[in-house]
Chains A and B, each alone.
Chain A
Amino acid sequence: MNSKIRSKVEMLFEEAPKTKKAFELKEELIVNLTEKYNDLVDLGKSPEDAYNSVIASIGDVDELIRGLKQSDVLNIEREEKERKKTAMVVAGAVGAYILSVILLILLTAVFRVDGVIAVLVLLLGVGSTTCVLIYHFMSKPSYLKADETLVEEFKEWKQGRTQRNQLSKSLISIMWTLIVAIYLLISFQFSIWAYSWIIFILGAVIEQIIKLIFDMRSMKEQ
C-alpha cells in the first residue's frame, strides 16, 4: 500500500519541474501521507478506506506545483549566467592558446628572434591562460549536498567527475600546445623537418597516458 501512495504522488507531480526542491517536497509528502495512512489503519480503518481518505486529504496539488515553478525560474537564470561565463572563459582561453602559437611563429620566422626566447614567450602565454582556465573551473560553485540521500550523493559524485574531466582536458590541451611549440622550435633551429613530425606521435602517446592516469584514479576512488 505504501508503494500505492508513492505512485499516486509521483503521478500528481508529473507536471512539476524536475528540481531538487520538487523532489524534496514529493518525498516529504510521501513520508507524511504514509504515516497518516498507518495511523488510520491502526485506528481500525480498512486499507482501502485509509488509502482513499489519505488521497482525498491531499487537496489541490496545482497550488504546490505553481509555487515550485516560480522558485525554479530563479535557478534557471543563475545557471544561464554561469553557463555564459564559462563559455566566455573557454572561448577566450582557446583564442589565447592559438595567439600564443601564432606569436611564436611570428617571432621566429619573421622577426628572427632567438628560439629560446620565443618559446619562453609562448610558455608564458600558455601558462597564464591555463591558470585562468583552472581557476575558473575550480571556483565554479560546487554542488553542496543538502542532505544525505542517495540522489544528493550521486549529484555530488557526478560533479566531482566532470571537474576531474575538465582538469585532464586542460592538461591535454597544454600538452598539445607545447608539442606544437617544440616541433616548430626544433624544426626551425636545426632544420630537421624530415624527422621532427615524430613528436606528434609522441604527443598521442602522452595523451593516452594522461587519460589512463585519470581513469585509474577515479577507479581507485570507487
Chain B
Amino acid sequence: MSITSDLIRGHTETIILAQLLIKDSYGYEINKAIQEKTSNQYELKEATLYSAFRRLEQAGFILSYWGDETTGARRRYYSITTLGKAAYTSNKKDWEEAKELIDKLI
C-alpha cells in the first residue's frame, strides 16, 4: 500500500482538481469523495490536502471562499478556475500517455 501511496502522491493536485470539476467543495467532502471512489482504499492526509490547496490557490488553479452556513462553523469552499480546468486536462493527458507506456513496459 505504501508504494501505491507514493505513486498516487504525485497526482494529488490533479485528483483534487478532478473533484472540483464536479462541483465546488470543501476539504473533508473532497477527502470523503476520494475514499468512496476508491472503496476506502485511499485517503489523503489532512496536511497533504491543505498544502495542495495552498499550492493550487497560489498557482491560480482554484479559488476559495467561506460558506454561509447558518448553524455551526463555517467551511472554506474551493472552486476550480479556467486555468485549473486547463491544467487538469493537460495533466490527464500526461497520465494517459504515461499509463500506456508503463503498461507496455511492465
Q: Is the CB of A60 within 8 A of B45?
A: yes
Which label, helix, strand, loop or mixed, suits the secondary structure of the B interface?
helix
Asked, given contacts A31-B74, A31-B75, A64-B50, whether A57 binds B43 with beta carbons under 8 Å apart, the answer is yes
**Please, how many angstroms separate the alpha-carbon atoms of A25 and B47 in the complex?**
11
Residues of A within 8 A of B32 (CB): 39
Q: Is the CB of A33 within 8 A of B46?
A: yes
Q: B47 is contacted by which of A27, A34, A63 (Cβ under 8 Å)?
A: A63
List B residues 33-76 near A (Cβ within 8 Å): 43, 45-48, 50-51, 54-55, 58, 66, 73-76
Q: Interface size class for chain A?
A: 20 to 34
Q: B45 is contacted by which of A31, A57, A62, A148 (Cβ under 8 Å)?
A: A57
Closest to B55 in A: A67
- Whether, in the assembled complex, B28 has its beta carbon less than 8 Å from a beta carbon of chain A, the answer is yes
29 CB-based A-B contacts, threshold 8 Å: A24-B76, A27-B73, A28-B50, A28-B75, A29-B46, A31-B73, A31-B75, A32-B26, A32-B75, A33-B28, A33-B46, A34-B73, A36-B28, A36-B31, A57-B45, A58-B46, A59-B47, A59-B48, A60-B45, A60-B47, A61-B47, A62-B47, A63-B48, A64-B54, A67-B51, A67-B55, A147-B66, A147-B74, A148-B66
